[in-house]
Structure 1
Amino acid sequence: MSKNAGDEGVGVTSDADVSLSASVVTAGVERRAIRLTLSSQADEPVVARFAHRVPSGRYVETTAATETGRLVGGALEGVVALAPGEEVVAHYFLDADAPGPVSADELPPPDLLSVTPSHSGVALDPTVHWRSADGGRVALALVAASDHPLVTDAEAVPGFVVESWTAERVRRPESRPATGRPAVGVVATREHEDAVYRTILHARDRGFEVYVTPLDDATEVARFAEQLGAHVVGVPADGDVGVEGREDALSAAARAAGHPGVIYQAVSCPRIDYDRTLDAFANAGWEVYAVPEDVARPLDHPRVLAAIPAYRAAESIGDVVREARRYADLVLVVDDGSPDDTAAVASDAGAVVVEHARNKGYGGALKTIFREAAKRGPDYTVTLDADGQHDPADISTLVAEQERTHADVVIGNRYMAADARVPFVRSVGLGVVNLLTNLSMGRFLPEDWIRDTQSGYRAYTLAAVQSLAAARNVGNGMWASTDILYHTDRERFTFAEVATSIRYDLENTSSEGAFQHGFGLVKNIVGVVEHTHPMVLVGLPGMMSVLAGALVGVFSLERFLTTDVLSAPLAITTVLFSIVGVLLLFTAVLIHTINTHPYFRPQD
């Protein structure tokens, strides 16, 4: 690869088909930039994934501040589709306030992550994002050099320049048109071979491009899929061989081909409801799981049941029900003794309504939901709020994650969303509650934590619903979400989390004040720990009290032996610490005995 004028220290990485170089550019720019050049020597179109580590102590320069702050360290990653013999160039700027300009000596070599055939045969612009050391990701926009404020001579800076952070690319140079519709991504298996072919034919009939990657021994299925017009996507030999890794490969191929996003088909390949799926895609952005067509299933056994606890929600419940019906076979609303027209509005919107004669609380409404769901036997029960904070389009996301991971409980995590904006005070309070909840569940390692323990947007399998319907340890208050976690965790059900959106710009979204709610949650957590781990909550303070009494007693005795004067305050302190400690230890043993001895267990 030739070295361009004004470049310093070209570092090259290559394989048989593609070469990638990184160099420092000094010509045509206000300050030094990094140039990445990809050149194809392949005879056929290829898709290349690449990465370039940001030099230590520097950050990627953008024209607008990102929501995650400075893009310090980490790496720039990207995907580009290359025609035979094509060369694509992209640039990015580093920080201006680091000590001295960036030099070639501190520039790490670039990495070619993978090179795979491009069956679409179309060369399209690269897409890039920044990935932090802990896996965080920020999409970045590319513009023509003439449009970037730090470029003084566009002719000396060919190709693209990273301008700002965004989920969309802006103003392409020499526009090479991208596909206007999302792609359909399919992980092909031999078990569902016929359903794979049906998905391809139906999707292509509707104008969708289909990308297929084989799982395990489905290579022959992929070959026939290609004959039907699908694009077959390979997976790097050293990559994740599971479904999730293959979905990442499908996403990269769709982006490289210029699609605005990808629709993941379930491995079982049910028929896709394209209208509802496109609605969900419009809400979700780049990636969404396909919404299956409604199958004529009786109301006593729906596939997906959307369940909504409601209290004084007449203004919002109608819209929530109507939207939820687009993604669920049946919508159940439990009206918790509302004094307004919540029940009537929900019924008019198409929900099955169960009314409480009096207000039982959020937990009371959830317990009714689990009992009603257990009677109807849905495959998946999704609970969401009645106030409009939860987006009903995420129902399909929760169900798809449950199908993919086979988790018994899937939690909609507000922090995982790309546009998450949790108010600071609420974020701090929820952080404390999340920490206490995980510790009280015995989840001491961060990798085992449930990150959003207070999310009410959850999907449950039928087995989990049936267990919760019979549970006696779920309270009626706002802290019932925590009780449900305690119960399902004790019953050895499995958990997963998936990104969902939540709105904080709505009024009257809670029947309790923030302090009252937080105090109730902490009080409930302490009560659970006292019941399940009395030796920790009660016994440990008792032991420390006895130890403190002993230390004070030794000090008092030593003083008496040397001065022949007995200190009354020290003697009283010794007695008090000792008595309190013994009482706490006795109480801890008593509670532990009551919790564990067969005589005290409830009889079935």
Structure 2
Amino acid sequence: MSLAIGIPAYNEEKNIAVIITQLKEITDKIIVCDDGSRDLTSKISEDLGAIVIKHEKNLGYGAAIRSIFLKAKDLDCDALVTFDADGQHRIQDISKVIQPIIEKKSDIVIGSRFLDDGEKEVPNYRKVGIKVITKITNMSIKKELTDSQSGFRAYSKQVLSELNPSELGMGISTEILIKASSQEFRITEVPIKIMYGGNTSTHNPISHGSSVLLSTIKFTSIENPLKFYGIPSVFFLIIGLSFTIWTIQEYAISGEIITNIAIIAIGCVIVGVVLLLCAILLYSLVSVVREGKN
């Protein structure tokens, strides 16, 4: 199997040399995406023989993953493993995430920090945030994952060929899962251990969570527009019609229109109609685009 290992990196000159040196024992196809670093990340990676993609400015984690996807596709790799550059992942766990791909049992394999006893190593503040985001992601893909935000993943050749991530920020982890689920790719998890040494994360937890939440809303609405907009539309229309009937009844009895009830009726009907139109238009647009791809 032709294996590529992709490393998104931003100012990682302290860690990158050790990581590349160890990974070279596994494969000679090591892709480093230097996402606008201001240090020697690119030079060190090039000197050690890695394939370096250089972003002139910092575009975001998602942009780095997208560039790695495209390069792995160009290299015609059978599988891609994405591996963080901060030194938190163990080299020996690569065999775990790649095995289901080799055995053709899965298309995407996530290295989960929350299987077996790996959870002990995760700081509490991260643990809560990751679990909340994972719950939201699971609602969108109808699957019970434990660690939707893990950057330690393996992707099959088919996924690299057919899935095109577009998100620039941290929401790309969720975007990939939503799109993969929609295209019926098999997603599994394997346990990994994480090595936290102080606060190695370069991502603000609030901006990270916001990015993931917005991405989940965006891609869920695109992949399932009838459910995303249609169900709330029916809800608002039922409320609007109920208040409309109430308004008519009050007028028939007293000859007066109760303003508050009438406003609620009109508002709910308008929102319901707008959501219904969005559901129909977006569903039609997505269907046309998908047919064009086929």
Q: Which residue of structure 2 aligns with residue 521 of structure 1?
A: 212
**Counterpart-to-counterpart distance in 2, 1:413 and 1:461:** 18
**How has the CA–CA distance of structure 1 residues 323 and 507 changed in structure 2, closer, same or farther, with 3 Å as cutoff?**
farther
1:354-390 CA distance string (max 9 Å, x none): 2223333212211221222223233332110001111
The count of residues paired between Structure 1 and Structure 2 equals 293
Report SS of the residue matched to 2:53.
strand
Question: Cα offset for 1:338?
Answer: 1.0
Note if contact 1:322-1:350 (Cα within 8 Å) is conserved in structure 2: no
Alignment RMSD, CA only?
2.3
Q: 2:260 aligned with 1:565, yes or no? A: no
**Counterpart-to-counterpart distance in 2, 1:379 and 1:597:** 31
Q: Which residue of structure 1 aligns with residue 161 of structure 2?
A: 466
Identify which of 487, 497, 506 aligns with 2:198. 506
- Residues 166-315 of structure 1: pairs in structure 2 closer than 5 A: 303-315=2-14
Note if contact 1:412-1:500 (Cα within 8 Å) is conserved in structure 2: yes
**Counterpart-to-counterpart distance in 2, 1:379 and 1:537:** 35
**How has the CA–CA distance of structure 1 residues 356 and 306 changed in structure 2, closer, same or farther, with 3 Å as cutoff?**
same
What letter is aligned with 2:266? V
**Counterpart-to-counterpart distance in 2, 1:371 and 1:566:** 62
Q: Which residue of structure 2 aligns with residue 430 of structure 1?
A: 130
Q: Which residue of structure 1 aligns with residue 232 of structure 2?
A: 541
Report SS of the residue matched to 2:81.
strand
Identify which of 241, 244, 249 aligns with 1:553. 244
**Counterpart-to-counterpart distance in 1, 2:114 and 2:252:** 62
Structure richer in helix, relative to its length: 2
**How has the CA–CA distance of structure 1 residues 581 and 342 changed in structure 2, closer, same or farther, with 3 Å as cutoff?**
same
Note if contact 2:118-2:194 (Cα within 8 Å) is conserved in structure 1: no
**Counterpart-to-counterpart distance in 1, 2:36 and 2:159:** 26
**How has the CA–CA distance of structure 1 residues 536 and 419 changed in structure 2, closer, same or farther, with 3 Å as cutoff?**
closer
Note if contact 1:414-1:502 (Cα within 8 Å) is conserved in structure 2: yes
**How has the CA–CA distance of structure 1 residues 499 and 405 changed in structure 2, closer, same or farther, with 3 Å as cutoff?**
farther
Question: Cα offset for 1:603?
Answer: 6.3
**Counterpart-to-counterpart distance in 2, 1:603 and 1:380:** 23
Q: Which residue of structure 1 aligns with residue 151 of structure 2?
A: 456
1:513-533 CA distance string (max 9 Å, x none): 100010010001101122122
Report SS of the residue matched to 2:119.
coil
Question: Cα offset for 1:325?
Answer: 2.1
Question: Cα offset for 1:423?
Answer: 2.5
- Residues 327-476 of structure 1: pairs in structure 2 closer than 5 A: 327-404=26-103, 406-421=105-120, 422-441=122-141, 443=142, 448-468=143-163, 471=164, 473-476=165-168
What letter is aligned with 2:33? V
Q: Which moved more, 1:360-369 or 1:333-342?
A: 360-369
What letter is aligned with 2:231? L
Larger radius of gyration: 1
Note if contact 2:172-2:215 (Cα within 8 Å) is conserved in structure 1: no
Question: Cα offset for 1:435?
Answer: 1.9
Question: Cα offset for 1:409?
Answer: 1.6
Q: Which residue of structure 2 aligns with residue 72 of structure 1?
A: none
**Counterpart-to-counterpart distance in 2, 1:357 and 1:551:** 57
Note if contact 2:115-2:191 (Cα within 8 Å) is conserved in structure 1: yes
What letter is aligned with 1:501? K
**How has the CA–CA distance of structure 1 residues 531 and 498 changed in structure 2, closer, same or farther, with 3 Å as cutoff?**
same
TM-score, normalization: structure 1?
A: 0.46
**Counterpart-to-counterpart distance in 1, 2:119 and 2:272:** 47
What letter is aligned with 1:578? V
Report SS of the residue matched to 1:410.
strand
Note if contact 1:409-1:493 (Cα within 8 Å) is conserved in structure 2: yes
**How has the CA–CA distance of structure 1 residues 498 and 552 changed in structure 2, closer, same or farther, with 3 Å as cutoff?**
same
What letter is aligned with 1:574? A
**Counterpart-to-counterpart distance in 2, 1:520 and 1:575:** 34
Instruction: State the 4+ residue runs in structure 1 displaced beyond 6 angstroms.
Output: none
Structure 2 residues without counterparts, runs of 5 or longer: none
**Counterpart-to-counterpart distance in 1, 2:140 and 2:158:** 24
Identify which of 168, 173, 177 aligns with 1:485. 177
The alignment-based identity, stated in percent, is 30
